Amino acid sequence: LGKIGSTATKVGMILFLASMMLSLPITLIPISILRRMRLISNTQREKFSLRIGSFCARWLMRLIPFARITTISPEYKSEDDDKPCIWVCNHASMLDVFFMLATNKKLRDNARPLKIVYWKDLEDNPATRILFTMCGFIPVEMKANKPGEANEYNPSSVKSMFRSVKKAFDEGFDIGILPEGQLNPNPEAGLLPLFGGAYTLSKMSKRPIRMMALSGTHKLWHPDDSIGMTPTGRDVKVRCYPCGQKIESSDQFVATFTEVVGT
C-alpha cells in the first residue's frame, strides 16, 4: 500500500472498530434483557449473541470494506466434517476474531455454534468484553506479557477452562482454540511454539480437530507496536480445512498444524 492507501485503510479499519463498539451493545442488550427476564435460557442467549456478533462483523465489513477478504472452503468433505469438533487457528492480529466472525457463516454454514477460548484481559476492551461474555466464550487467565514472551497461566483458571469446555460440549457447541497461545509478533517468520491443549481436549471429548488459517490480518493491525495500526496491505484470506487423519498425540498435532497452517 502507498501512503494514501495506507491512510485510507487505517481510517476504514478504525471506523469499523468504532462501529462494532457501537453496534454490539445496541444489538446485544435486548438479548441480555430477555435472559434476565428468564424468557430465554443461558444457552439460547449465547447462541443468539454469537449470531448477532457474526452478523454485525459480516455486514460492517461489507459496508466499510477496509479489507479484501477471500474465503477458501474445503476442496472435499470427509465423513467427520459434520461431527462436533475442535477448531484451531493461527493468531497474528487483534482483528482475527472479527474476521473469524465475519466469515463464520460462509465457511461453517449450518455448523454448530462456536465458543472460543480467550485471554481474560481482553475484557478490558468494552467491545470484546460484551461480545465474549454474551457469547459465553471461555476465558483463561495468565500474566500480561508481550507478544513472543512465554505464557504464565493461572492453574486454577486452566482447570476452570476445562470444566467450561466440557459444559460447552454437552450444550452442543464446538470449541475454538488458538494453539500459539498469544499474538505472533513476527508471523512472517512462521508460527510461535505451539501448545498441545487442542489434542488434550480432542482426546478428552473424542472429537476430531479441524484447522483454519488466517493470513494477511497482521498487515492491517500488526502485533509489533512499532508497526501497529499502520496498514501495509489489505488482502486477507481465511481458509477452512477438512478433517484429516486422526491425531494420535500432542506431538503429531503440533507437527500437523505447523505443516498445514504454518506453511
Q: Looking at residues 240-261, what average pLDDT do you find?
A: 87
Q: Looking at residues 27-38, what average pLDDT do you find?
A: 94
Q: Distance between CA atoms of 199 and 103, rounded to whole angstroms?
A: 25
Report helix, strand or coil for 7. helix
pLDDT confidence of residue 148? 63
Q: Looking at residues 46-71, what average pLDDT do you find?
A: 95
Q: What angle do CA 43, 111, 126 make, to 5 degrees?
A: 50
Between residues 64 and 122, which one has the greater pLDDT? Answer: 64
Among 145-154, 183-192, 202-211, name the one with the lowest average pLDDT.
Answer: 145-154
pLDDT confidence of residue 120? 86
Q: Kindly give the pairing relationship between strand 209-215 and strand 235-240.
A: antiparallel
pLDDT confidence of residue 65? 94
Q: What is the DSSP letter of 241?
A: P
- What pLDDT, in 10s, does the model give residues 189-234? 889 888 888 898 888 888 889 999 999 999 999 888 888 889 999 9
- What pLDDT, in 10s, does the model give residues 90-115? 999 999 999 999 998 888 765 688 99
The percentage of the chain sitting over the pLDDT mark of 90, rounded to a whole number, equals: 52
State the sign of the Cα–Cα–Cα–Cα dihedral 144, 47, 238, 221. negative
pLDDT confidence of residue 76? 67
Q: Distance between CA atoms of 217 and 221, rounded to whole angstroms?
A: 7
Q: Using CA atoms in the order 214, 219, 224, 227, what is the torsion angle rounded to 10 degrees?
A: -170
Spell out the residues 6+ positions from residue 221 whose beta carbon is closer than 8 angstroms to its own.
13, 93, 94, 95, 228, 229, 231
In the chain, beta strands by DSSP E: 68-72, 86-89, 114-119, 138-140, 174-177, 209-215, 235-240
CA atoms within 13 A on the CB side of 163: 6
Report helix, strand or coil for 214. strand
pLDDT above 90 for 151:
no
Q: Using CA atoms in the order 242, 173, 142, 223, what is the torsion angle rounded to 10 degrees?
A: 50
pLDDT confidence of residue 102? 94
pLDDT confidence of residue 124? 85
Under the banding of pLDDT at 50, 70 and 90, the label for residue 247 is confident
Report helix, strand or coil for 98. helix
Mean pLDDT taken over the chain: 88
pLDDT above 90 for 134:
yes
pLDDT confidence of residue 78? 66
